[in-house]
Structure 1
Amino acid sequence: MRLDLVWREEDGARLPATVWRPGPGLRTLSSALVGGGFATPGWVLNAQVRGQYARMDPDVHLAELAARFGLDGPGVGMLTAAAVDRTFHGADAGVTAAATVGLRVPTWAAAPAGAADPQLAPGTINITVAVPVPLSDAALVNAVMTATEAKTQALLEAGYACTGTASDALCVAAPVPSGAAEPFAGPRSPWGARIARAVHFAVRAGAENYPFR
């Protein structure tokens, strides 16, 4: 996964973004603001915003950023207040993962109603995973689950008592099936195990290097 680092001036700040242009023949499953769900994108954008981001139209904002960076056609777009120029990478037997790790509001997924989350510093955890083999629809869903589990394991091992933040985003990419596709991507399947290790490495590195502990 080759990420291009690009910059822009916005609201008086110089802000980075990463762009992945995988070429044709790829499909994704993601929770991204733009291109979420199943998609066949030509690009994946992860853009940094300021810590006190207040726009109520992030999808429009991402479309503006895509146009600014010359990204045409359908794509996947994510925003984060984490330092995008500090993207962390993991790889395992053909699977690659890229993560920006911000932990401003670490939270438990099943927190008690009304519980307050601690405030640390700007951020969200955004993860992009590239798998080199086609995955079935069910396996893509399974891959999202596996990547999320690996993220949580990495955070706990790095000393953060949380499952993530409330605004994390994830994108899993694999070739469009033209025949048989891998049916499984759980953590004990061959490709799921590789996804887990790649994501775990990237997220743990990011969490351990997070500057606002």
Structure 2
Amino acid sequence: MKLTYRVEEGTRLGALLWEFGPGWRMISSAMLGGGIGAREWVLNAQVVAGYSRMDPVDHLVSLGPDRGDGVGMMTAASVDRYVRARDGGVEAYATVGLRVPTWAAAPEGHVDPELAPMRVGTVNIVVVAPVAMTDAALVNTVMTVTEAKTQALVETGFAGTGTASDAVCVAVPAEGPQEVFGGPRSEWGARIARAVHTAVRRGAETWRHRHSK
């Protein structure tokens, strides 16, 4: 797996590109390449505040490699300030934007409908684990990632479980003995939880320090 930082031509907007190549399965909530399946790359692209293009999937495709299927996410947060954390063979990467954190079960109308998701920033998370997993275990890892992210935000004093446009991607090898559990008290789920918690907490603390001046 190779991680590179690139800048979109004609702009100052950066993007993080993880190039995995063949032999990987991923689960993601992203607009491009979401769901569960074989994927070869992941793109986390920074867009302008107030992003209003009506073709975000096409935009992501144009920014990604022209080979294989991939996952594409967007954020208004500065992707060059990503945070990486490791735990027992698991790697977690987070880009953290928390201008308008929200509670998942907020009352209807609680969030200003005029605040477009790309205007307020997001918490995008990419996790890489070195073991194959069943579909159910992959779904479980998404729950684990979300719980660990929420724990980190609450611990750093943000009033919310995330933002309205957060995205996640978990990548695992396609071959090998499959883990059947991905919850936070399973062997690999616990490692994922700790890595994500560390990355998001560091990112949230940095974001608060930078925006409190």
Q: What CA distance in whole angstroms lies between the structure 2 residues aligned with 1:129 and 1:90?
A: 10
Equivalent residue letter for 2:203 = G
Please state how far the C-alpha of 1:113 moved relative to its aligned partner. Answer: 1.3
Q: Name 1:124's counterpart in structure 2.
A: 122
* Runs of 4+ with >3 A deviation: none
Q: Name 2:4's counterpart in structure 1.
A: 4
Q: What CA distance in whole angstroms lies between the structure 1 residues aligned with 2:178 and 2:167?
A: 25
Correspondence list, 1:6-85, <5 A: 6-10=6-10, 13-66=11-64, 70-85=65-80
Q: Name 2:138's counterpart in structure 1.
A: 140
Equivalent residue letter for 1:187 = P
Q: What CA distance in whole angstroms lies between the structure 1 residues aligned with 2:106 and 2:14?
A: 33
Q: What CA distance in whole angstroms lies between the structure 2 residues aligned with 1:16 and 1:71?
A: 18
Q: Name 1:181's counterpart in structure 2.
A: 178
Secondary structure of 2:211's aligned partner: coil
Q: What CA distance in whole angstroms lies between the structure 2 residues aligned with 1:2 and 1:150?
A: 25
Q: Name 2:81's counterpart in structure 1.
A: 86
Which segments of 5 or more consecutive residues in structure 2 lack a partner in the other structure? none
Equivalent residue letter for 1:200 = H
Deviations 1:66-110 (A, max 9, x none): 2xxx44121111110000000101110000000100012210000
Q: Give the structure-1-normalised TM-score.
A: 0.92
Secondary structure of 2:105's aligned partner: coil
Please tell me the root mean square deviation across aligned C-alpha atoms, in Å: 1.7
Q: What CA distance in whole angstroms lies between the structure 1 residues aligned with 2:202 and 2:157?
A: 12
- Count of paired positions: 206
8 A contact 1:43–1:71 mirrored in 2: no
Q: What CA distance in whole angstroms lies between the structure 1 residues aligned with 2:138 and 2:100?
A: 28
8 A contact 1:19–1:43 mirrored in 2: yes
Which segments of 5 or more consecutive residues in structure 1 lack a partner in the other structure? none
Work out which of the residue numbers 185, 188, 200 in structure 2 matches 1:203.
200
Identity in percent: 60
Judged with a 3 Å threshold, the aligned counterparts in structure 2 of structure 1 residues 154 and 71 are, in CA distance, closer, same or farther, namely farther
Secondary structure of 1:89's aligned partner: strand
Secondary structure of 1:145's aligned partner: helix
8 A contact 1:136–1:182 mirrored in 2: yes
Please state how far the C-alpha of 1:2 moved relative to its aligned partner. Answer: 3.8
Equivalent residue letter for 2:192 = I
Please state how far the C-alpha of 1:52 moved relative to its aligned partner. Answer: 1.2
Q: What CA distance in whole angstroms lies between the structure 1 residues aligned with 2:95 and 2:204?
A: 9
8 A contact 1:81–1:123 mirrored in 2: yes
Please state how far the C-alpha of 1:112 moved relative to its aligned partner. Answer: 0.9
